[in-house]
Amino acid sequence: MSPRRARVVSLPDAGEVALSTEASHHLLHVLRLSVQAEVVLFDGRGNQALGRIVAIDQGRATIRLVEVPSAARPERDAHLLLAQIKPKGLDLALRMGVEVGLTHVHVFAATRSQGRPPRPDRWTKILEAAATQCGRADLPQVTFSSDLRTALDLLPDGITLFLALPGADRPEPPTLVSAAIVGPEGGLTQAEIHLSIDQGAHPLGLGAWTLRAETAAALAAGFVCPPR
């Protein structure tokens, strides 16, 4: 079995790291690890290292590194502009985005969005849990914008942009930094579609069937992420 994983705020080059109470509880009481168990620590910025539990004091575990930290992150950036959708679907889309390799998720309030007010703290916990489970050492950056135009302004210059549209053809997967736009449950308005196309977005077909928004988000994310 692969070593269990835990997120830390910072990862030194050597020595010991005291885990937070929350991370310690998960390792010691949920996973039932004990002294001498191996744990992979990651900092959420793309660095990870193998360590070993050497002490437990007042419910907190101390990990001693047994190797020098190494970099582990996707080979190129991949962005998803995702309209705010219902909380359960948005949570699932974020989790799947971590698993397929997104580096940036730009949640925006579309005209037809049905989601609740943004919850960045909850989103960060979902990303962290997904990275812990799937083996990533970095966390995608998540932003929230009040509309699509504002989200588009956050993209880097020169990025290749795609717009998920029902009935569109599926182009060749990109080989450079790219982004995909996915609308809410009720779809993007014509104004939002025209805005995306005016910004250079290429139509992106995701299949012949009607998809849930979170399914469309996962497929679009997989399209713009480099294969591993």
Give dist(CA 119, CA 127) in Å, integer. Answer: 13
Q: Is the pLDDT of residue 228 over 80?
A: no
Q: Are 87 and 108 in a shared domain?
A: yes
Q: Are 38 and 94 in a shared domain?
A: no
Q: Are 43 and 151 in a shared domain?
A: no
What CATH number corresponds to the domain at position 63?
2.40.240.20
Give dist(CA 9, CA 41) in Å, integer. Answer: 10
What CATH number corresponds to the domain at position 105?
3.40.1280.10
Residue 55 sits in which domain range? 4-71
Quick: pLDDT tens for 144-187. 999 999 999 999 999 999 999 988 999 999 999 999 999 999 89
Q: Are 31 and 86 in a shared domain?
A: no
Q: Are 99 and 8 in a shared domain?
A: no
Polymer length in residues for the chain: 228
Q: Are 84 and 67 in a shared domain?
A: no
**pLDDT for position 208:** 82
Q: Are 155 and 170 in a shared domain?
A: yes
**pLDDT for position 1:** 64
Q: Are 35 and 85 in a shared domain?
A: no
**pLDDT for position 227:** 79
Of 71, 93, 127, which residue sits at a domain end? Answer: 71
Residue 74: what are its φ and ψ, rounded to 5°?
Answer: -55, 150
Nearest to 19 by CA among 68, 66, 69, 60: 60
Q: Kindly state the tokens that stand for 71.
A: 């970099």
Determine what percent of the chain is predicted with pLDDT higher than 90.
72
Contact predicate 78/160, CB 8 Å: no
Of 43, 71, 99, which residue sits at a domain end? Answer: 71
Of 40, 71, 102, which residue sits at a domain end? Answer: 71
With bands split at pLDDT 50, 70 and 90, how would you rate the model's confidence at 102?
very high
Quick: pLDDT tens for 198-213. 999 999 999 888 899 9
CA dihedral 50, 55, 60, 63 (to 10 degrees): -20
Written as one letter, the residue type at 56 is I
Q: What is the 3-state secondary structure (H, E, C) of the chain?
A: CCCEEEECCCCCCCCEEECCHHHHHHHHHHCCCCCCCEEEEECEECEEEEEEEEEEECCEEEEEECCCCEECCCCCCEEEEEECCCHHHHHHHHHHHHHHCCCEEEEECCCCCCCCCCCHHHHHHHHHHHHHHHCCCECCEEEEECCHHHHHHCCCCCCEEEEECCCCCCCCCCCCCEEEEECCCCCCCHHHHHHHHHCCCEEECCCCCCCCHHHHHHHHHHHHCCCC
Which has more pLDDT, 106 or 167? 106
Q: Are 160 and 196 in a shared domain?
A: yes
Q: Are 168 and 85 in a shared domain?
A: yes
Q: Are 108 and 217 in a shared domain?
A: yes
Q: Is the pLDDT of residue 130 over 80?
A: yes
With bands split at pLDDT 50, 70 and 90, how would you rate the model's confidence at 140?
very high
Quick: pLDDT tens for 36-92. 999 999 998 889 999 999 999 999 999 999 999 988 778 899 999 999 999 999 999
Total domains, the chain? 2
Q: Are 115 and 178 in a shared domain?
A: yes
Residue 188: what are its φ and ψ, rounded to 5°?
Answer: -75, 150
